Structure 1
């Protein structure tokens, strides 16, 4: 493994109220001015996300996002924070906690940000006594939030007071933190798309998970556009690879700037779900101004995407105050790319306010009935261990490949592979997984079905395998059914003769109620020798009902008890074989019809059908007026 792959990569964010000094603090920490747009310079606010490298050594690399603070730019703020590992909450000493600070705190909590540092800026503008008051005010506001136990650092971006202390605190904190998953499939939600003259289309974003390397084929979801990573940059420097946690720019082939937009996602595999219906667990903010109602229009911010949709409850029709997690569903107007565990924010489009946020339980939501049963099912999905999630996925999907299992369970390759070694799971065909319990269940179902068939059609060998597959394919995949049947044959549960499958211990037989009459009929046919009457006459005399004659005739033929000369005349099986032996022993290598008549003393009524049957069975071959023995 290279040094690059040993290194850990993190992105931190600056969050806080407008004009509290986030951009100035970023510049003081990094010597980079992240206000890059003309309108940002003119208005002295951050509209787009600004990025800068903070620190790098052999062990760690840290980047900074300067998140916009103005209410109108909340979308960009969410897009930035969604990909970060630590947040520096910026509060100006001369103003303290402001409304936007509180909203940012809510959003950070909903997005699952766990690490934070509080930077009290502009300390040179106020005296020490006032700073103490501001600290008390901030401490009180942070109770019950993700910043409740976060350290405070006093800084001034102009005089550089406290800047080194803040930078060292960030470095020390992240060195103790686990980095994002670099082992899974690559995913980068796009937050910027632009063109570079002579190079083409470039996308930029934070690598959520996995790694990407120069030349790698990629896919843009949800659009499904296949592209290739022509070149990579990390903080304006060429790179061969980009890792989870890094800010990366990717020069893409085969796509134009007009085809892409913020919210699209660059991935390396099909493991990610493209969906419009997601089962979720949400919390709402404490001080909602308006009631949240059933099927209310909402704006969902997930990754870098912003999508309209509706919220669907299954245990209520409205809410305003709720401290507990609520299990519900988001039905979106456009497709998004997500997986289990992804965080999101819900905002009311008009009047605009942050309603709440949460995480994705199942990206493959379906339509459910309103009621407690649905809530119980969602609860099971929510708390499931990796093992339980795999069981749930295979219970629903019956048979899944690794890619589908990753999509449905949101587990990484390593965790999934480890869990799949459990004896509850079975790999078959070398590529598909199923539950051992399901294999046994299907085997029992086929066994019972065969038993019913044997009782109803005791004279038939079994069920055509194609018929079994067709009848059960509505419930189980064909590959799995085929596997279960073949395994059943191998382990002695089933028998197979040509295309027919049967219970191993089953032997075709005449139904008990007709066995005696059938035996008597056979004795009469035997007694009549080679000069028999029509088979239908024997069946009628024996009292065999018309509904049974077809199956009985077929059974007696298959068992060799009777042999057809044609569709009317049948000889007793042993007599037919004896006639063949007699004729062969009393003729040479070839013979004519007259020779056969002399040997067997039969009229043409029987002789011609008999000889044609010998041809059909391969005993003889007709050449002009003669027949030549073949065996």
Structure 2
């Protein structure tokens, strides 16, 4: 458990921590000389009868160093707010109380320090003042104790409260770590002889073990720097694993000290992301004199980073003091951010804390950020658990949810299969809500019925054309899965790449049936080169025009494949070509390269490209630049 000590300068934070732990958190020569904390200081207290250890972050109280206090406070579990009995609440007492409150910290204790210097009446007066200040904050009702580090008065009682909270935390952690992926807010980096670069920070989520692959972000390139955990120290001792809520030092091989700095994150590569825009649930501090409007310039603190930004209110025009609203923060530099991470806003001059909030979505959109659709999505992201948030998004997202992207934004390495609601349509990392699935099914069937009415002599459109008619914005993997579900339910027929209603069938005439039978041997013998209409007509002794009409009808029914004008393939031949394409793709990370496909089939380059372009059209592959990428969700030519 991490406890943050906060309070006005010279109100005895470092002295009290030393009385509780025996550790002097003023570690820099300048701190010793000036008698104040400049950097974050750390001390640890063992919990008797448990392996748990309490970490104290002694944050500085000097006004110009409040941003350092924020870096420490963003990862704490419990607040220890100090106020001197002789001075009473001072400016930084109020500032730190605002920071702790806006960070959502609900557990805390107030220590009235230097009790040996004040009368009982003065202590009672300060106690009443602090109780009144705490009343409108999440720390309302926190214990208030009078203590003296010099005489020892109240120190044991304060320690008992802290140890009781730590034991409760340890008991709650039994049975495993939290389910989120590892992330640590880096607040310090240094070089250690014989070890190399070491970073320290508070683990905000998940666990890390020695040897784990890790990512450092954000970076100027936008790509995370990959490394691994060579060794770990958690709560100031060597360990094999560390978890959320602990102070941790991680040795990183292959990274120079200058390549990592305060404000970056160390995280599981599965959730590595950086962003310039974050959508948040924002609360304006109740003590602010003025309301906040869109366009306000602020300094955003998240993790150990602080970045200039502007505020765009989303569901209100003006945010009044003490009120909450949805907002987007447009950042001047990239940050790491995940759902649930706390943010603090200070005014542009960094003179006071004005607001705080919770990250809802690190993938905030640039456009349409205030539409009813977007606001519904953000309200879904305020739900308590990740499965509930996913279900809420699926209920309002018109074209489905990218589940992998959602998991990364949530700080989850992955989602379990049962996280997607049973009635949702899921494929290739995408999911579509049950209501939207039903609507698209009806749209597909209606589009087919309309097609049959207009063109009764054709069996139906190919699936790609049907998608353009019924659901042009639905992702292709979800479309293919939706059609497969309709076919499995008997509500739709699929013949090759052609879709039709079960009640509809385009019948060949007697003449067309006769011609089809006569050209069948030529089609089968043509092999990978395919058969031209003129050659088939000559071999069958039939009119070229009649053969062309018959083959076109067969292709529309899905009984033949037409790659280019007048060039046809038998289904069995095209199935073998598709199998070769899949083999080539499996050897090249899903890329079907034209040269490799040509060599594997023995075809010329032109014919190989014609076939690959046909695969693009019918949905076996998709064109990306000069590449043809296999669609993992496609079941074409698979019996």
Q: What TM bracket, shorter-length normalisation?
A: 0.7 to 0.9
Q: Is the 8 A contact 1:458 1:509 kept in 2?
A: no
Q: Give the corresponding residue for 1:72.
A: 64
Structure 1 residue 373 displacement after superposition: 4.4
Q: Does 1:377 align with 2:368?
A: no
Structure 1 residue 158 displacement after superposition: 2.4
Q: Give the corresponding residue for 1:288.
A: 288
Q: How does 1:585-600 map to 2 (within 5 A)?
A: none
Question: What is the DSSP-based 3-state SS (H/G/I as helix, E as strand, rest coil) of the residue aligned with 1:131?
Answer: helix
Matches of 1:465 and 1:372 in 2, distance apart?
32
Q: Is the 8 A contact 2:279 2:327 kept in 1?
A: yes
Q: Is the 8 A contact 2:288 2:321 kept in 1?
A: no
Q: Is the 8 A contact 1:292 1:318 kept in 2?
A: yes
Matches of 1:285 and 1:207 in 2, distance apart?
27
Match of 1:15 among 6, 30, 33: 6
Q: Give the corresponding residue for 1:454.
A: 452
Matches of 1:277 and 1:172 in 2, distance apart?
40
Q: Give the corresponding residue for 1:405.
A: 406
Matches of 1:433 and 1:571 in 2, distance apart?
42
Q: Give the corresponding residue for 1:194.
A: 190
Q: How does 1:210-609 map to 2 (within 5 A)?
A: 210-223=206-219, 224-271=224-271, 273-288=273-288, 292-314=292-314, 321-350=320-349, 352-367=351-366, 373=372, 377=376, 380-381=379-380, 383-384=382-383, 386=385, 389-394=389-394, 396=397, 398=399, 402-408=403-409, 419-420=419-420, 422-428=421-427, 432-468=430-466, 474-508=472-506, 565-567=542-544
Question: What is the DSSP-based 3-state SS (H/G/I as helix, E as strand, rest coil) of the residue aligned with 1:48?
Answer: coil
For 1:179-221, what per-residue CA distance to the aligned partner results, in whole angstroms no more than 9, with x for missing partners? 5963321110111111112211111011111110001101112
Matches of 1:135 and 1:572 in 2, distance apart?
95
Match of 2:43 among 47, 52, 65: 52
Matches of 2:272 and 2:468 in 1, distance apart?
32
TM-score, with structure 2 as normaliser: 0.74
Q: Give the corresponding residue for 2:32.
A: 41
Matches of 1:182 and 1:570 in 2, distance apart?
68
Q: Give the corresponding residue for 2:603.
A: none
TM-score, with structure 1 as normaliser: 0.74
Q: Is the 8 A contact 1:117 1:151 kept in 2?
A: yes
For 1:144-175, what per-residue CA distance to the aligned partner results, in whole angstroms no more than 9, with x for missing partners? 22332111222211233322221111111233
With over 3 angstroms needed to count, the CA separation of the structure-2 counterparts of 1:564 and 1:343, relative to structure 1, is farther
Q: Is the 8 A contact 1:362 1:381 kept in 2?
A: no
Q: Is the 8 A contact 2:443 2:470 kept in 1?
A: no
With over 3 angstroms needed to count, the CA separation of the structure-2 counterparts of 1:130 and 1:352, relative to structure 1, is closer
Structure 1 residue 358 displacement after superposition: 1.4
Structure 1 residue 432 displacement after superposition: 4.8
Greater Cα shift, 199-208 or 501-510:
501-510
Matches of 2:380 and 2:430 in 1, distance apart?
23
With over 3 angstroms needed to count, the CA separation of the structure-2 counterparts of 1:572 and 1:496, relative to structure 1, is closer
Q: Is the 8 A contact 1:426 1:433 kept in 2?
A: yes
Q: Give the corresponding residue for 1:135.
A: 127
Question: What is the DSSP-based 3-state SS (H/G/I as helix, E as strand, rest coil) of the residue aligned with 1:159?
Answer: coil
Question: What is the DSSP-based 3-state SS (H/G/I as helix, E as strand, rest coil) of the residue aligned with 2:38?
Answer: coil
Matches of 1:126 and 1:572 in 2, distance apart?
105
For 1:55-93, what per-residue CA distance to the aligned partner results, in whole angstroms no more than 9, with x for missing partners? 234253211110111111111111111111111111111
Matches of 1:485 and 1:47 in 2, distance apart?
64
With over 3 angstroms needed to count, the CA separation of the structure-2 counterparts of 1:230 and 1:329, relative to structure 1, is same
Question: What is the DSSP-based 3-state SS (H/G/I as helix, E as strand, rest coil) of the residue aligned with 2:205?
Answer: coil
Q: Is the 8 A contact 2:377 2:393 kept in 1?
A: no
Matches of 1:571 and 1:204 in 2, distance apart?
74
Structure 1: runs of 5+ lacking an equivalent: 1-9, 511-517, 527-553, 555-562, 574-615, 617-631
Match of 2:99 among 96, 107, 110: 107
Structure 1 residue 283 displacement after superposition: 1.8
Question: What is the DSSP-based 3-state SS (H/G/I as helix, E as strand, rest coil) of the residue aligned with 1:450?
Answer: helix
Matches of 1:245 and 1:371 in 2, distance apart?
35
Query: Aligned-pair RMSD on alpha carbons?
Result: 3.4
Q: Does 1:81 align with 2:73?
A: yes
Q: Is the 8 A contact 1:342 1:359 kept in 2?
A: yes
Greater Cα shift, 498-507 or 109-118:
498-507
With over 3 angstroms needed to count, the CA separation of the structure-2 counterparts of 1:443 and 1:329, relative to structure 1, is same
Q: Is the 8 A contact 1:564 1:570 kept in 2?
A: no
Q: Is the 8 A contact 1:97 1:138 kept in 2?
A: yes
Matches of 1:452 and 1:269 in 2, distance apart?
49
Structure 1 residue 289 displacement after superposition: 5.2
Q: Is the 8 A contact 1:315 1:370 kept in 2?
A: no
For 1:19-73, what per-residue CA distance to the aligned partner results, in whole angstroms no more than 9, with x for missing partners? 0000111111111111111211111111111111112342532111101111111
Question: What is the DSSP-based 3-state SS (H/G/I as helix, E as strand, rest coil) of the residue aligned with 2:397?
Answer: helix
For 1:598-621, what per-residue CA distance to the aligned partner results, in whole angstroms no more than 9, with x for missing partners? xxxxxxxxxxxxxxxxxx9xxxxx
Q: Does 1:154 align with 2:146?
A: yes
Q: Is the 8 A contact 2:180 2:411 kept in 1?
A: no
Matches of 2:470 and 2:196 in 1, distance apart?
52
Matches of 1:375 and 1:401 in 2, distance apart?
15
Q: Give the corresponding residue for 1:548.
A: none
Matches of 2:548 and 2:263 in 1, distance apart?
80
Q: Is the 8 A contact 2:7 2:82 kept in 1?
A: yes
Question: What is the DSSP-based 3-state SS (H/G/I as helix, E as strand, rest coil) of the residue aligned with 2:435?
Answer: helix
Larger radius of gyration: 1
